[in-house]
Structure 1
C-alpha cells in the first residue's frame, strides 16, 4: 500500500442548498469548476440544521423550513492550487462563507500508480 502525504490547504464553502448559478445549483457549479481547474477533489455535504448571517434557522425537522438547508463544499489541494481557485469562488459566491485551513493530507491508495517520488517508507508528497 502506498501512502501519499503532505501539507495542503482546505477550503470550505458554506452556502444554502437553494443558491443557484445560472439556474443550476451553486454547489454543482463549484464542484465542476474545481474539477476543471484540476484540483485534487471536492465533496458536497448537506447539513441537517444551521443558520447564517440572517440568523434564520434552517432545519430538516420542520417541513416549512426544510428548504434551503446548509451546504458545505470541501476542497483540498496544495496551497498554490487552492489560492489560484479563489477568484472563481469570488465570482460565484455572493452570500456565504469561505474558510481556509492549513491541513495535512494522508491518502491511502491500494497500489502504486507510478507517479511522484517515494521515500524509504513508501510515502509520496502531494
Structure 2
C-alpha cells in the first residue's frame, strides 16, 4: 500500500467533460496513466459551472444544459514523482490548464493499511 505524509505536490488538471483521448474521456486516460505510473492518488470532480480560455460559460442549469461541463482531475504525490509524470500530461492536455501546488499531506492511508494498523495494536479487524 502507498503511504504519503509530509511535503507533496497537488496537480490539478482543468479540462472539459467532452475532451477525449483516442475516443475515450480524457479525464479517464489521465487517471489510468497516473495509476500506471504509481502515483499516490487521483480523483475526478465534475463542475457545475465554469469558463476557460474560450470565455464561453458552461453550466448544468436546467435552462442551458451543457455537454461540456468543467472537470478537475486532482493528483497528489511527491514532487519528484509528479515531475516525472508531467511529460504525459503535456502529451494528453492540448486544451486546458495544469496547476501545480505545494501542499502538505497529513495522513494518507489505504483501507488495507487501516486494518493492518489495527491488527498491530492488538485489535481485531472486521
Who is 2:121 aligned against? none
TM-score by length of 2: 0.82
Contact 2:59 2:66 in 1 (8 A): yes
> Is structure 2 residue 117 aligned with structure 1 residue 112?
yes
Separation in 2, partners of 1:4, 1:22: 32
1:5 Cα offset (Å): 2.4
Who is 2:40 aligned against? 40
Cα 1:92–1:4 shift into 2, 3 Å: closer
1:63 Cα offset (Å): 4.8
Q: Secondary structure of 1:39's partner?
A: coil
> Is structure 2 residue 52 aligned with structure 1 residue 52?
yes
Q: Secondary structure of 2:5's partner?
A: strand
1:65 Cα offset (Å): 3.9
Q: Secondary structure of 1:112's partner?
A: helix
**More strand per residue:** 1
Aligned residues: 111
1:106 Cα offset (Å): 1.2
Separation in 2, partners of 1:68, 1:34: 23
Who is 1:7 aligned against? 7
